[in-house]
Amino acid sequence: MAITTQQLLQILPNAGAKAGVFVPVLNTAMGRFQIVGSKRMAAFIAQIGHESGQLVYVREIWGPTPAQAKYEGRRDLGNSVPGDGLKFRGRGLIQITGRANYSACGEALGLDLINQPELLEQPKKACLSAAWFWATKGLNSLADADQFEMITRRINGGLNGQADRLKLWKRATEVLA
């Protein structure tokens, strides 16, 4: 089962023309990381839909906000060099964040994300990084069990934006049924 541009636009109407750009690379990434079947796909599309503002953003908007300022020097993100907070801000459809995550993602996908973090802003790599993150966090099994709140916690660390995520999940579940 692959998602069509029409289905993606029903779920993420604000994606507009970007839906057509993302559909083929989204389908490739979901297939590669076993995000297959309506439950997994609906949960994945809902989460990346929220994280990317419906495919509008592949790079975290930078203030820095007080939360973003705290990225600097965060050991849990592997940010050890001055400037790492900004350099390794959230990118891709699921917002890979921090030197350690960029390093692991780059190693898994065969990309030099430490020297070229902006590669995650390209549609194909934005999709692959999101699907890689999804798979490495064990989110397929949570999607199979309808554990949507736990999926949000593993992606976000909390429940930020949960109302929007749930709205998108409901819509995706209906469209992909």
CATH assignment of the domain containing 87: 3.30.20
- Shared domain for 164 and 91, answered yes or no, is no
- Shared domain for 128 and 172, answered yes or no, is yes
Of 94, 119, 144, the position where a domain reaches its end is 119
Q: Using CA atoms, how far apart are residues 96 and 155, in angstroms rounded to an integer?
A: 9
Give residue 75's domain range.
66-119
Active-site residue 149, yes or no?
no
- Shared domain for 88 and 12, answered yes or no, is no
* Residues 11-31 pLDDT 10s: 999 999 999 999 999 999 999
pTM: 0.96
Number of structural domains the chain divides into:
2
Q: Specify burial of residue 115 (Cβ count, 10 A radius: 0-12, 13-18, 19+).
A: exposed
Alpha-carbon radius of gyration of the chain: 15
* Residues 105-149 pLDDT 10s: 999 999 999 999 999 999 999 999 999 999 999 999 999 999 999
Q: Using CA atoms, how far apart are residues 125 and 115, in angstroms rounded to an integer?
A: 15
